[in-house]
Amino acid sequence: MAEAANPSQSDVLVRIRDLHFSRGEHMIFDGIDLDIPRGKITAIMGPSGTGKTTLLRLIGGQLYPDRGSVQVDGEEVPSLRRGELYELRKRMGMLFQSGALLTDLDVYDNVAFPLREHTALPESMIRDLVLMKLQAVGLRGARHLMPSELSGGMARRVALARAIALDPMMIMYDEPFTGQDPISMGALVQLIRLLNDALGLTSIIVSHDVQETAAISDYIYVISRGKVVGHGTPDALDKTDSEWVRQFMLGLPDGPVPFHYPAPDYREDLLQGGEAG
């Protein structure tokens, strides 16, 4: 509460302190501190399997941390009651890797879904809103298609239209660039930046696509082995002297993260095989 007086508090939408989370015996986060500034695009990067998606689920309240604090807009997410959590989620959008469109509804109904669930707007107004959101992602003409008829990039754009349907304060993108062809990738990169600035959103991008992410984000956190190993603006990270961050950002095959999975000596291993045979 004392911190609330701190003027910098209002600039930070998501504040994570000393976050610990483990799945079974597998430690995923071992004390992470993060600040996501309001109105900016913040990227969270790291190699596959470092629990970046898990972090988004922790922010969204789908998972509970073992220890530590996750604050969104001043509210402590893990201790929210169910109703409060659902109210908070209405102000969050999340774009899943697969799009997570409802397969039994067409594009129009998918975008209308949150509006119909959470508002009592008349159908004519829902129609206007849906068409506006679809226009924003350039898919107004695709409104009658079923999700199975969409390409991966289009599905993500529909999901994006759905995520902004309720005019949230922030959007979380889970690996938005994975498996996209260059054109859809370009479209998505541009959309994320455009929507963020036009709607005054706060965006969190979780990704391991270094170049695309670095191109649009204002601030980057690099996570590895449950720790934040580096953070800064994209330019600052390029000039970092951390070996590890350099390896990740430049995509070097060998470095602090070895190319080889830990194994006994190569020569010995081969010779042993010979004996056994």
Partner 1 sequence: MMLEWVRQLGRSGIDFFEKLGRGHLFLVKTLAGVPEVLARPRLLIAQLLSVGVLSFMLIAISGLFVGMVLALQGYNTLVDFGAEESLGVVVALSIVRELGPVVTALLFAGRAGSALTAEIGLMKATEQLSGMEMMAVDPLHRVIAPRFLAGVISMPLLAAIFSAVGIWGGYFVGVGLLGVDEGAYWSQMQDKVDFLDDILNGVIKSAVFGVVTTWIAVFEGYDTIPTSEGVSRATTRTVVHSAFAVLGLDFVLTALMFGDS
Residues in contact with partner 1 by CB under 8 A are 60, 62, 86-87, 89-90, 92-94, 96-98, 100-103, 113-114, 117-118, 159, 162
Nearer to partner 1, 19 or 101 (CB): 101
Q: Rounded to the nearest whole angstrom, what is the least distance from the CB of residue 114 to partner 1 in the complex?
A: 5
- Edge to edge, what strands does the sheet with 219-224 contain? 92-95, 170-174, 202-207, 41-45, 219-224, 227-232
Nearer to partner 1, 22 or 97 (CB): 97
Kind of pairing between the strands at 26-37 and 12-23: antiparallel
Q: Rounded to the nearest whole angstrom, what is the least distance from the CB of residue 60 to partner 1 in the complex?
A: 5
Exposed/middle/buried for 48, CB within 10 Å: 0-12, 13-18, 19+?
exposed
Nearest one of 30, 91, 27 to 59, comparing CA atoms:
91
CA 209, distance to chain mean position in Å, is 12
- 126 vs 113: CA distance, rounded Å: 10
Q: Rounded to the nearest whole angstrom, what is the least distance from the CB of residue 224 to partner 1 in the complex?
A: 25
DSSP at 180: -
Q: Rounded to the nearest whole angstrom, what is the least distance from the CB of residue 10 to partner 1 in the complex?
A: 24
Nearer to partner 1, 78 or 232 (CB): 78
- 218 vs 224: CA distance, rounded Å: 20
Nearer to partner 1, 25 or 117 (CB): 117
Q: Rounded to the nearest whole angstrom, what is the least distance from the CB of residue 106 to partner 1 in the complex?
A: 15
CA angle 178–181–183, rounded 5-degree value: 120
Q: Rounded to the nearest whole angstrom, what is the least distance from the CB of residue 195 to partner 1 in the complex?
A: 17
Nearer to partner 1, 102 or 236 (CB): 102
Nearer to partner 1, 94 or 237 (CB): 94
- 230 vs 42: CA distance, rounded Å: 13
Q: In sequence order, which residues have a C-beta less than 8 Å from that of residue 163 and are 6 or more positions away?
A: 93, 94, 95, 171
